[in-house]
Each structure stands twice: as C-alpha cells, then as structure tokens.
Structure 1
Amino acid sequence: MKKGLTLLLLVLTLILAACTNQQPSSQEEEPEETSEETAAEETAEAAEETSPEQTSQGSDAEIPAAVDQPLKIAAIMEFSTGTFASQYVSGLEAQVKKFGGEVQIYNANNDLSQMANHLQTAINQGVDGILIDHGRAEALNQGVEEALEKGIPVVTFDNDITADGVTAISQDDYSLAWGTLKQLAQDIDGEGNIVYVWAGGFTPLERRNVIYEAFLEHYPNIEEVARFGSVSNNTALDSQNQMEAVLKKYPEEGSIDAVFAPYDEFAKGVTRAIQQAGRDEIKVYGIDLSDEDLQIMQAENSPWVTTAATDPAEVAGVQVRFLYQKIAGEETPSIYALDPSVVNVSDLPDEPVTMADVGQHIEGWGSPNAARSPWMDALEAKNAQ
C-alpha cells in the first residue's frame, strides 16, 4: 500500500509539474480573463508594453500579412472513426473557415505508413501549415523535419513527436485518467473487481495507462479480472463483442463491479454489451465525450456513469489557432495541455444534453480563449459571411 501510494504521488507530482510548464509563453501578451469593469483598463495597460501590431484588441487589431490571405492547411489523421474524431474534424473545418482558409483532411485508416505518405503529399503540395492528429514519431519524424526545413509549420495533437519548432497539444491524458479512476474508486469504496479496456501503440492510451497502473498499486483491494481491447475501423463493435465474452466468463451478479474504458469507442461497446446482458449493476467509467456519448450516458439505467473529457471541437480550434500563430511569426509553446473536466451523469439534468449545453452544467468546461491572439477576432470578422 505504501509503495503504491508513493508511486501514485510521484506520478501526480510529475503531472502537475508538467501542466505548470505547459502554458504558452505567448499568454503573457494576452489579457487575463477579467470582469467587464476592469477589462478596458487592463487592455490599455497591456497596450503600452506590446509591439505596434498587437496594441489593439478584438476586431480593431492589425492582422499580420502572413495570415491575411486564404491559407491551405493539411490535417493528417491516423484515423477518423468515432464521434470524437468527427467532432474534432468539424472543429478543424470551422476554425480554418473562420480564418478564411481551406483544410484538406487526410485519413490514414490506422495505417502509419499511409499516414507518412499523406504527410509527404501535403509537403509536396506546398501547403501553408500542417496539423497532425495521433500517429507515432517513428513513422512521422522524417516528414515533420522535412516540413520544418521547408518552412511549413507543424502542430500536433496526441502523439509523441518532439521535434524542435513543433507545438504539441494534448488533452492532458494523465488528468483525464485520474479524474475518471478517482470517481471509480470512490463509487466502489476502494474495493472490487474491474475490467480494463486498453490497446497499446497509441500515445494517449499509453499515457492513460501510466495512471491506471499507478491506480492499481494505490488501491490493492481493487482487482483487474479481465483486460482486452483493440482499435479498428469498428472499435465500438469489437469492444462490445469482447465484453460479451467476459460477461459469459463472469455470469454471477457482483462478479464485476466496474469497467474502465479510457476511450469513448471502448465505453460505447462495453455499455451496449452490459445493457444487452441485463447486467446494469456493472458501471462504466470512460474518457472522451460527444453528443452520441451523452445520449448513451443519459439513457435510463445506463451503466456509463462517468467520463472525463475535453471538447473535441475546441481541441481542434486550439490546434488551428496555434498553427496560425506560427504562420504569423508569433512565439508558441513546445507543449500545451488542455484542462479536462469530469462529467458525472448525476451532474446533468434529466432532459437530454448536447455538447453545446455541457458548459452550463460542468464548471470549467471548454477553453475558448486558449491560443487566441488579439488579431484573430479581426480575421474572423473579416471572413464572416
């Protein structure tokens, strides 16, 4: 027990230290969130300390010439299946459109070699900027280095690329995992049998697994009785079939207390298996959130009771804004983690909720001001239809 507690505390200390260092240096040039009464005064004070092109705020700010034109952006995705991915894509397209640009989506269908080929295609086409979603450094580093050498900026999401000049954003996977697992432990009073759904080879899942392993050390009375998982073109269905096999192995009520499914496609599949088996005493704890996920969670007697998440559309928006900052010649951080939220069904109202409504019920949901320069309001206003 003491060993497990020490390990968990060490991991969490490292997480907190990393999060502290993951704030972009450019934020020092941005006004902090203030009340309406003091915003004007603080804006005036900040203007005295900034360069001429950053002295005006909002729609009056001068737009850098490099971004004041239709830019061509390439988004290289390892996969685009699932509702999280679809809402992420919508977020990319919406933010680029607001800036007057165009984004081409390249889907590698879980094939890293194809992902590398797509990256090379984007470089050869001379795009203005590249966004990378998932993938692995071993497959993409060479292409990323070539893009940077040719002056094409790169911003990544949820992968392990660490090339100089790249900004890497993430959902803070350590906090996501801990937020959900802490709720799971509280709900079963630190004791019981759980199932773990997981697949290696994906950076966010591997980061979440670090916390899960520390969690098991910290709670020795919580036992993992089954582990499975794979990511495919139909992850939810695969997870459902695999969970059905586990339920047949443990048919007695009370033999399984909870499932930790740190990806919403995992969570959807196991939830359906539990419902069809009539085993609603088993609770599901997931990661990620979408409109479809909310419908499943809010259904009557749904086993899926908790998830930790960020808004996928806003994740995409932050990624695009960092890319445009790079194109504009602004300083951007090497790493940036968005703050996740824990969403419990008990915190939501009885009526159906959509992603657009979550912020009304979950404090701290979303981060619309992240990576936002003063001129971005002006650029969006100029391109508004």
Structure 2
Amino acid sequence: MKKLCSILLIILLFTLTACKSEQDAVSTQQQQTATKETTSKQETSQTEIPKQVQKPLKVALIMQMSIGTFSSQYIEGVKKQIEQFGGSVQVYNSDNDLAKMAANLDAAINAKVDGILIDHGRSEALKQGVEKALQANIPVVAFDNDLRLPGVTVIDQDDYSLAWKSLKTLAEDLNGKGNIAVVWVGGFAPMEHRSVIIDAFYKRYPNIKEVARFGTASNNTALDTQAQVEALLKKYPKKGELNAIFAAWDEFAKGAVKALEQAGRTDIKVYGIDLSNEDLQLMQKSNSPWVATAATDPAEVGKVQVRFLYQKIAREHTPDIYSLEPHLVKKSNLPTENVAMEQLSKYINGWGNSKDAYSPWMNKLEKEKK
C-alpha cells in the first residue's frame, strides 16, 4: 500500500510540474509575442513620418547679421536641410541691428510661419518676440544666443571648448611663454563665452602675456582687423616682441593673416576660431601664419538647427540647450594640395558626420521629397 501511495504521489508531482511548465511556456510565449508587437509598433511609429511635417513647411531664419563665408555656409546648410524635407525658408538679415532683428522676428510671426530659426542676437531684444511666437504655437530654435525660455532649444558650438582648443594649442606651441594679442569683440553671446576661457587661460599659463586686445564687428570686419593689426605691428616691429595672435572669430583671423603676410612677419602665428572654405585656402598657403583653428562645420550647424525645429514641429522631445562637438584643425594635419570643407573628414576625425537631432523618420521624409 505504501508503495502504491508513493507511486501515485510521484505521478501527481510529475503532472503538476508538467502543467506548471506548460503554463510557464504559454506565459513566456505570450510575453514574447506582446514584446514583439510593442517593439514593432514602436519601430513603425518611429519611422512613420509625423503628420505635422508631411506638408511643406514655411520656416523663417532671423539673423543678427550675415558677414563672411562662415555665415554663407551656415545659411546654405539651413537651406539644404529644409529643402530636403520639402520645406522653404525666408532669410531675414538684420545688418547687426538688434531693433531691426526684433522687427524681423515680429514680421515672421505675422506671416504665420511654421517655425522660426534665430541666429545670434540678444535675449533683451528678442525675448518678447519669442514669447509671442510661442503663444502663437510657432516653435523656435536659436543658435549662439543667450535666450533661456522654456520650450526654446538653444544650440551652440560649445564656445568654451572652441576657445580652449585653440588657446591650448597656442600655449603648447609657445612652450607656455610669450606675448600675444587678442582680437575679440563684445556684444555677442559666443564672444562672451569665449572671453571666459581667455581669462581662465592666463591663470593656467601665467607666463603668456596679453599685450593688446582689440576688435570690431562691421560689414568690413576683416579689413578693419587688417588695419588694426598693421598698427599693432608698428608697435612691435622686432622679432620676439609679439609671438602670436588669437582671433576669436575667423573674420578677425583673415584680417590678421593678411596684415602679417603683407608685412612679411612669418615669426607671428595666428590661432583662430571657426572655419570656412576661404579660411582653409588661407591656412593651406605656403608659409601661412594661420597654423590652427577650432571649429565646427557651419553647414552642419545649420542642418542640426533645422532638424531640432522639425522635431519640435513633430512634437518630439528636444533639449533646452545643445552643444555641437568642435574640432581642432591644424595646418600640419592638412595635405599640401588644397582641400574644401566637404573633404575635411578625410583628415579630421569626426568632421561633418554628425547625426545630431536626426530622428528615424527624417530619412523617409528626405527620400519622399526627392
């Protein structure tokens, strides 16, 4: 009898275990099916073009000023990305007049555009207009601006990093000792950020002395800078009195380079910020004093800014602030033959390959609008 009971107990245990295993298998299969269905729905929703961006969108680009080749390549980047998305853009150039920039912003709002891009400018001049845009449900993305409003994404080139990369290279080339001049101008958010690093730079390298600081932003910035550097060279005519010039903007660097070339001062080197095709040509010239610059691809900046705007219009989450990764471009890294900006990725790791702010559906949108 005991033996029979034991046998029956074992059979019962096997039956219960088998049932439990079958239930677990069914449960696991159901979970896997549900997960696959959820993942499939998520993938579909991520690649499906949001209805808000399916129509051709009208975008306004409000610029504080449009000076030099950096700005022109930035504008081309904005235009190219918007055209790839099937939209159109109107560029408002404010000629470095903040009152005019505020008026241009109002004009864009009154034109009932679908989105607004802002290039430079100051918060005190634009805050009221941007708030008006947001109240009208017009999303805003700004570049190199000090706006800090909920819902507005502000992108920059990481101006602190730009300044440090260039200045650190200068210090290393001078072996931590020498006299330098700084070409800089206030009144612009990126310049104020770069100034913070300039001040910190002297604490890190106390044996590097600033003997002059100057700079103006105008419609002829490069020419103005050339004249200012020519006057500077008369103050320091002897080799060793001035070792380098740090130019906080490529328009400054272009003017400094031309002044040094005309004076035959190969003993003074230029370290800059920003880069364009014209800048590259100057750097690649034989015996060019322009030996290094820290930069992001201006066209890529424009494209990233547009993509953030389209994400906002599609009601996707976007950050309040975003910094693009800058690169150090040294003359010694470039080939002897001339290269253009679009070829720099062959020589500068990571250049021009940004997928920042790129949503999966954007690829489909670009293909459909071809």
- TM-score normalised to structure 1 length: 0.85
Q: Secondary structure at the match of 2:90?
A: strand
**1:158 aligned partner:** 144
The 3 A distance-change label for structure 1 pair 215 and 139 is same
Asked whether 1:295 is paired with 2:281, we answer yes
User: Matched residues in 2 for 1:87 and 1:207: separation?
Assistant: 23
Cross-structure match for 2:308: 322
CA distance in 2, matches of 1:210, 1:364: 27
State the identity %: 62
Greater radius of gyration (CA)? 2
1:298–1:345 contact (8 Å) kept in structure 2: yes
Give the alignment partner of residue 270 of structure 2, picking from 284, 292, 296: 284
2:127 matched to 1:123? no
Q: From 334, 340, 362, give the equivalent of 1:376.
A: 362
How far the C-alpha of 1:47 sits from its partner, in A, is 8.3
Cα offset, 1:365, TM superposition: 1.4
Find 1:242's aligned residue among 228, 235, 260.
228
Q: Which amino acid aligns with 1:373?
A: S
CA distance in 1, matches of 2:146, 2:353: 23
One-letter code of the match for 2:76? S
Contact 1:166 1:334 survives alignment (8 Å): yes
3-state secondary structure, aligned to 2:319: coil
Structure 1 position 52, deviation (Å): 3.5
2:166 aligns with one of 180, 184, 192: 180
Q: Residue 92 in 1 paired to residue 78 in 2?
A: yes
CA distance, structure 2, for counterparts of residue 364 and residue 47 of structure 1: 35
Amino acid at match of 2:114: D
CA contact 2:116–2:139 (8 Å) conserved in 1: yes
Amino acid in structure 2 at the alignment position of 1:356: E
Q: Give the secondary structure class of the aligned counterpart of 1:114.
A: helix
Q: CA deviation at 1:350?
A: 0.9
Q: 1:358-377 residue pairs with structure 2 within 5 A? A: 358-377=344-363
In the alignment, the residues of structure 2 paired with residue 203 and residue 50 of structure 1 have an alpha-carbon distance, to the nearest angstrom, of: 43
Choose from 87, 92, 97 the match for 1:101.
87
When the two chains are superposed, the root-mean-square deviation of aligned CA atoms in Å is 1.4
- Give the unaligned 5+ runs of structure 2: 1-34
Task: Check 1:118–1:51 CA distance in 2 against 1; reply closer, same or farther (3 A cut).
Answer: farther
How far is the alpha carbon of 1:107 from its aligned partner?
0.2
Q: Deviations over 1:109-166 (max 9, x none)?
A: 1000000000000000100000000000000000000000110000000010011100
| 1:47–1:180 distance in 2 versus 1, CA, 3 Å | farther
Amino acid at match of 1:371: A
Corresponding position: 1:206 with 2:192: yes
2:243 to 257, 281, 295: 257
The answer as to whether partners of 2:342 and 2:352 remain within 8 angstroms in 1 is no
- Alignment check: 8 A CA contact 1:47 1:54 kept: no
Cα distance in structure 2, aligned partners of 1:51 and 1:296: 52
**What residue identity is the alignment partner of 1:207?**
H
Q: Distance in 2 between matches of 1:51 and 1:196?
A: 56
Measured after TM superposition, the shift of residue 183 of structure 1 is 0.3
Rounded Cα–Cα distance in structure 1 between residues aligned with 2:272 and 2:357: 28
Once residues 247 and 276 of structure 1 are traced to their aligned partners in structure 2, the CA distance between those partners, rounded to angstroms, is 11
Whole-angstrom CA distance in 1 between matches of 2:36 and 2:203: 51
* Residue type at the aligned position of 1:308: A
Superposition map of 1:16-165 within 5 A: 52=41, 54-55=43-44, 61-165=47-151
Alpha-carbon displacement from aligned partner over 1:157-196 (angstroms, at most 9, x marks no partner): 0010011100000000000000001100000000000000
Q: Matched residues in 1 for 2:202 and 2:123: separation? A: 29
- What amino acid is the match of 1:219? Y
Letter in 2 for 1:127: V
Asked if the contact 1:338/1:367 (under 8 Å) is kept, the reply is no
Offset at residue 218 of structure 1 (A) = 1.5
1:19-47 deviation digits (Å, cap 9, x = unpaired): xxxxxxxxxxxxxxxxxxxxxxxxxxx98
2 CA distance for matches of 1:309 and 1:241? 25
Secondary structure, in 3 states, of the residue corresponding to 2:352?
Answer: coil
CA distance in structure 2 between the aligned counterparts of 1:169 and 1:93, rounded to whole angstroms = 18
Task: Name the residue aligned to 2:333.
Answer: 347
Deviation at 1:253, TM superposition (A): 1.3
In structure 2, the residue matched to 1:190 is 176
Code of the aligned partner of 2:92: Y
Match of 2:320 in 1: 334
Q: Conserved in 2, the CA contact under 8 Å of 1:48 and 1:55?
A: no
Pairwise CA distance, 1:262: 1.2
- Aligned CA distance change for structure 1 residues 249 and 116 (closer, same or farther; 3 Å): same
SS of 1:55's partner is: helix
Equivalents in 2 of 1:167, 1:48: separation in Å? Answer: 34
Letter in 1 for 2:341: M
| Secondary structure, counterpart of 2:272 in structure 1 | strand
Q: Compute the displacement of 1:283 (Å).
A: 0.2
Q: Deviation of residue 50 (structure 1)? A: 6.1
Amino acid at match of 2:279: D
The structure-2 alpha-carbon separation of the partners of 1:262 and 1:56, relative to structure 1 and needing over 3 Å to count, comes to: same
Unaligned runs of 5+ in 1: 1-45
**For the residues of structure 2 that align with 1:212 and 1:47, how far apart are their CA atoms?**
54
Does structure 1 retain, via aligned residues, the 8 Å contact 2:75–2:299? yes
TM-score (norm 2): 0.89
